[in-house]
Structure 1
């Protein structure tokens, strides 16, 4: 698994540095991709990364790599983001167990669907608080790492 991760993720990202992408460009592209990859509305993160890449001139392969790697984190952060949004707004806690959501959807599908709006709203609010902090932290942690790796790896053989 470790060799596969290195071959499919680490080596292609390092080759970006060898081909001229700055360590800062790579670090911030990965950090933004990770932050946007945790956006709580499933199915929207690829477009968000595309927009951020165009707007901020970030590296698209690095953005999308981080976005796809963030998927488990996106799922893991859904409940904490909802709870943070509820707490910030002083809203009552919504039941979030899978059983209660399925039972609600079976009993009253339209009411359950309408209940997703506030749930996603709370999650988005929580994400708006957590994501910028995460992006800054990840970017600041990755920047020195990629600077060191760029110096150790040197230029690509064809350069």
Structure 2
């Protein structure tokens, strides 16, 4: 158990703490985390990193890339547990019969010998995700805003010196040698 906790700290907690300590906005972090989970539960394993990369490229500065990717990574167990519910939701939405989930069907998917019915079930699982994703994103965003406000207030921007904050002083042009002004950074 200690090995798992150490691994989680190194791969999830520590990167998130660095993001929080660098002064990210709580709403941006909440949106990024919600987006990372929402894309991270996409029911086709191995594609979530690509989806997150596309989302980061499209959204740019509106999301925090590190948060999206770390949370996407952490959502993998959730992704695996939601494949069947997404499949069943897609079946309900299309009025299809339940696809029998057998080890033979799984083996055919992995080996690339999937039948038409297996491929249709994958499409239905994606449809289930498409239907659930906006709700998941909205609920997670709403729930995560207060969490990240608390975390940013508690662990936010680290001052440059524990004793005194830095001040920026601009000397007038006649006080600098070059005549263009000089920037000094010093503590009290």
Give the TM bin, normalised by the shorter chain: 0.7 to 0.9
Map of 1:76 onto structure 2 = 81
Normalised by the size of structure 2, how large is the TM-score?
0.73
Q: Which has the higher contact order (CA 8 A, sep 6+)?
A: 1
Write 1 or 2 for the structure with the bigger share of helix: 1
Write 1 or 2 for the structure with the bigger share of strand: 2
Inter-partner Cα distance in structure 2 for 1:15 and 1:102: 39
| Matched positions, count | 153
**Matches for 1:4-83 after TM superposition, within 5 Å:** 4-57=7-60, 58-83=63-88
Inter-partner Cα distance in structure 2 for 1:50 and 1:8: 18
Displacement of 1:129: 1.4
- Cα deviations by residue, 1:56-91 (Å, 9 ceiling, x for unpaired): 222111111111111111111111111110011101
Displacement of 1:142: 1.2
Map of 1:132 onto structure 2 = 134
Change (3 A) 1:154 1:88: closer
Normalised by the size of structure 1, how large is the TM-score?
0.85
Change (3 A) 1:91 1:148: same
Map of 2:184 onto structure 1 = none
SS at match of 1:46: helix
Displacement of 1:54: 1.6
SS at match of 1:86: helix
Inter-partner Cα distance in structure 1 for 2:87 and 2:156: 45
Displacement of 1:128: 0.8
Displacement of 1:45: 0.8
1:96 aligns with 2:101: yes
Where structure 2 has 5 or more consecutive residues not aligned to the other structure, the ranges are 162-188
Where structure 1 has 5 or more consecutive residues not aligned to the other structure, the ranges are none
